[in-house]
Structure 1
Amino acid sequence: MSNIGVVSSCSCIHPLVHLLRPSIQKKGLHTAARLAAKDYYEVLVLGGGTGGITMSARMKRKVGAGNVAVVEPSETHYYQPIWTLVGAGAKKLATSARPTARVIPRGVEWIKSRVQELNPDKSCVYLENDKKISYKYLIIALGISLHYEKIKGLPEGFNHPHIGSNYSVHTVEKTWRALQDFKEGNAVFTFPNTPVKCAGAPQKIMYLTEAYLRKTGKRSTANIIFNTALGGIFGVQKYAEALLEIIKARDINVNYKRNLVEVRADIQEAVFENLDKPGVTEVYKYDMLHVTPPMGPPAVLLNSPVSDAAGWVDVDKETLQHKKYHNVFGIGDCTNLPTSKTAAAIAAQSGVLDKTISLVMKNKLPTKKYDGYTSCPLVTGYSRVILAEFDYNAQPLETFPIDQSKERLTMYYMKADMMPFLYWNGLLKGYWGGPGPIRKLLHLGLK
């Protein structure tokens, strides 16, 4: 099973398009993808996902396109947040994909290769075929890796019907097929015992499934089960309370501290470990199974000098500068920033990191501080979304002067239609740094 881990999977960027600076970047050719034409760049970006493309666009304007390179092996860039709706049949998979060549900023070199080793002490990295690239400044945006293989029987289980996963391009359409084929019985949804990108996504498809079954007259014969390794439904109390009301009203069964460890696809059984009782397992029969895979840092970051003990890039949580190497920076899912891993977080981080690097280049200390802002549009039906926004302290940090814990049709259209537009035309081109200024305006300067 291929791991698709370079693009953040939950986009919560705000679609205030009329306030967005018009893009001055015209579509055009960047340097052809290949092994690096040069062996030194002023700014080297590792990863061509959300964070990598965004920062390469910002760095191009700072040091010039010819001085920036992006290392990325994949030929396709995916807007993964829309996969929640693809898995529920509300969007087509093709709408989430663009050629990498089209999203890398014009003139920035695309090095179509994989990173094999980071050597920050010598300010260089090694790519495939032992190609060495040196840099003045390094931005690490390598995303997060999916590990379906860590669940016994799951990789081969995808060859059977009734199993899907919205986290991979290879399995998201299987979710929709499993939903359409469902007739009666247990529909089981999982959340793993690891960090994940977009922690709301595992339950979004559950709400959409429940809505679909109601719409198609199958709800009365369905038992919807959410087995999560976490101890609560959501990490922010305000939104957790709203979600629990929905769960109660829709008769959804939630089991906490349950971690999927095995799938027996031939007999349609899912085995969960009870985390409160180590070694004790529970078996659930399923007629539909949606799996959120275990996730972790990319392999190249494990035991790397730039990483903490767990393998995440070790950065200052306010400036995104590396704690040891002052010419190294991190952004997005691969970092140890203590906030949810979403594209909304990357948007806010990109604005801070831009300011940080600008000051470092002038031999000044960074002053701009990232407050942990992140967001997750919690899709609760085919026409409803709760727009959760919060900070490092798990406190709501809402942009609009309304109660965003309420399900709203307007927020659904933001998620489904406007956010993708802002992603492709604003964030990836380096013109969107999150809704902070808009929030301040709408709240009359008050937090």
Structure 2
Amino acid sequence: MSVNTPATHQVLVIGAGAAGTSVAASLLRQRPGLDVAIIEPGDVHYYQPAFTLVGGGAYSLAKTARPQASTLPEGARWIRAAARELQPEQNRVILNDGRAVNYEILVVTSGLKLDWDKVDGLRQTLGRNGVCSNYDPSLAEYTWQCIRQFRGGKAFFTQPPAPIKCAGAPQKIAYLAADHFRQKQVSEQADLRFYAAGGALFSVPDFVPYLEDVARGYNIHLHMSHNLVAVDGDKKEATFRVTDSAGESREITENFDLLHVTPPQCAQDFVKNSALANADGWVDVDPHSLQHVHYSNVFSLGDSSSLPTSKTAAAVRKQSPVAVKNILARLANGQLNAEYDGYTSCPIVTGYGKVMLAEFVYGGKVTPTLPLSPFKESAFYWQVKKRALPPFYFDYMLRGRERDIAHKSRS
């Protein structure tokens, strides 16, 4: 074969995060010898759901990380590069080093982009001046430093417009911080505010009144329809664009002592600039089969997909078996019968030792897995989140194992 001839793989996966790794591992468990290649430039695989606990001082950052090589499935070829261009008409991906890779089936699981630069001045002050974020592993420990050293003043927590990964995370760190301030007896000197670009505290209405009660219990002032647009770290000023009920907007600037920022998020550039993207830049797939709406040999799941559900590892957990079944059916020229119902879950940490587990499917229908009230804070679910889920993720889900407990609609 000529050195200029692109390699061709039966299944080409872009991205070795939760979605890409679990799909590749399951495919190889069910079809040993299948030609699977994974495009992934990173050397470290992080368990991202624990970043909130790191920022709250309840978990070690080192425990969230494993070498990428140790998490990839045996039998998959690791292409250590980044994707630069998608050419679905030619069944081809162009890498950042100019190489081309062809495929029979493409699985896009490239995650999303943290768009720090969309907030003016944010990148220049991250990690100093009391400006922190749990959305980057290099910054999460600084969040805990800021919380630990806080002695009173204004502590702000922000949430950008949807969609974002783990939509409950911006609230979680606010509750942990407020709980810590109460334990250290500085809450009386604290002005705690939660600024959200959206009009509601949570996407599923059933959970909103219970979460509002949690915020009130900590004396956290909720400011809906407030989108962070600029930060001046040296002056410790945050500027928000406020939208009223008539759609009119104005900007306000507030001084802060602590600012936890959840960055705006969007699709990766090579995805949004491709023929696979919908109008919002996400890989345009059928919400049930996870198959692309125009290219039948392309699938997507996880954060890079257009699936109208929360972008969480728990959602990937339910999407992966569906994707694998339908990919194998497509390889065999069979009918795609597996369907995803939109399930996701968000363990909303409401304080140290307390979690409210929000589980739901398409349409916002609440679907608990266990016969426990989803609206009550639970010490049991804290233990599940902190102790059970990380090893489950690394040692079970990423290994392509798929046995699970069924979720049920709540009457």
TM-score (norm 2): 0.95
Partner of 1:296: 266
Q: How far did 1:282 drift?
A: 1.2
Partner of 1:229: 197
Q: Which structure 2 residues correspond to residues 217-366 of structure 1 after superposition, within 5 A?
A: 217-276=185-244, 278-366=248-336
Contact 2:162 2:198 survives alignment (8 Å):
no
Contact 1:347 1:433 survives alignment (8 Å):
no
Q: Which structure 2 residues correspond to residues 297-446 of structure 1 after superposition, within 5 A?
A: 297-432=267-402, 435-436=405-406, 439=407
Secondary structure (helix, strand or coil) at the match of 1:160 reads: coil
Q: Which structure 2 residues correspond to residues 79-94 of structure 1 after superposition, within 5 A?
A: 79-94=47-62
Contact 2:6 2:99 survives alignment (8 Å):
no
Contact 2:81 2:97 survives alignment (8 Å):
no
Deviations 1:201-242 (A, max 9, x none): 000000000000011111110011000001011111222121
Q: Counterparts of 1:421 and 1:336 in 2: how far apart (Å)?
A: 29
Deviations 1:224-281 (A, max 9, x none): 1000001011111222121111122221100000000011111111110012264511
Q: Which structure 2 residues correspond to residues 181-220 of structure 1 after superposition, within 5 A?
A: 181-220=149-188
Secondary structure (helix, strand or coil) at the match of 1:130 reads: coil
Unaligned runs of 5+ in 1: 1-34
Q: Counterparts of 1:302 and 1:377 in 2: how far apart (Å)?
A: 30
Contact 1:36 1:111 survives alignment (8 Å):
no
Amino acid at match of 1:372: G
Q: Counterparts of 1:261 and 1:119 in 2: how far apart (Å)?
A: 35
Q: Which deviates the most, 408-417 or 55-64?
A: 55-64
Amino acid at match of 2:81: S
Contact 1:348 1:373 survives alignment (8 Å):
yes
Q: How far did 1:44 drift?
A: 0.5
Label 1:392 to 1:156 Cα distance change in 2 as closer, same or farther (>3 A): same
Deviations 1:26-66 (A, max 9, x none): xxxxxxxxx99970111110001110100110122344356
TM-score (norm 1): 0.88
Contact 1:344 1:434 survives alignment (8 Å):
no
Q: Which deviates the most, 415-424 or 155-164?
A: 155-164
Amino acid at match of 1:99: P
Q: How far did 1:348 drift?
A: 0.3
Q: Counterparts of 1:294 and 1:400 in 2: how far apart (Å)?
A: 33
Deviations 1:304-333 (A, max 9, x none): 111111110000000001111111100100
Contact 2:27 2:34 survives alignment (8 Å):
no
Q: How far did 1:368 drift?
A: 1.7
Partner of 2:147: 179
Amino acid at match of 1:397: T
Partner of 2:37: 69
Q: How far did 1:159 drift?
A: 4.9
Q: Counterparts of 1:300 and 1:36 in 2: how far apart (Å)?
A: 23
Q: Counterparts of 1:159 and 1:166 in 2: how far apart (Å)?
A: 11
Q: Counterparts of 2:256 and 2:359 in 1: how far apart (Å)?
A: 33
Contact 1:65 1:106 survives alignment (8 Å):
no
Contact 2:6 2:102 survives alignment (8 Å):
no
Amino acid at match of 2:282: W
Amino acid at match of 1:116: R
2:13 is the counterpart of 1:45: yes
Amino acid at match of 1:418: A
Contact 2:115 2:263 survives alignment (8 Å):
yes
Contact 1:347 1:434 survives alignment (8 Å):
no
Q: Counterparts of 1:139 and 1:46 in 2: how far apart (Å)?
A: 6
Q: Alignment partner for residue 166 of structure 1, among 129, 134, 137? A: 134
Q: Counterparts of 1:323 and 1:212 in 2: how far apart (Å)?
A: 48
Partner of 1:27: none
How many percent of aligned residue pairs carry the same amino acid?
Answer: 38
Label 1:283 to 1:350 Cα distance change in 2 as closer, same or farther (>3 A): same
Amino acid at match of 2:378: R
Q: Alignment partner for residue 94 of structure 2, among 97, 122, 126? A: 126
Amino acid at match of 1:349: Q
Q: Alignment partner for residue 152 of structure 1, among 105, 114, 120? A: 120
Amino acid at match of 2:389: M
Q: Which structure 2 residues correspond to residues 91-102 of structure 1 after superposition, within 5 A?
A: 91-102=59-70
Partner of 1:60: 28
Q: Counterparts of 2:55 and 2:228 in 1: how far apart (Å)?
A: 20
Q: Counterparts of 2:333 and 2:76 in 1: how far apart (Å)?
A: 25
Q: How far did 1:128 drift?
A: 2.3
Q: Counterparts of 2:7 and 2:309 in 1: how far apart (Å)?
A: 35
Deviations 1:365-389 (A, max 9, x none): 2112111000000000110000100
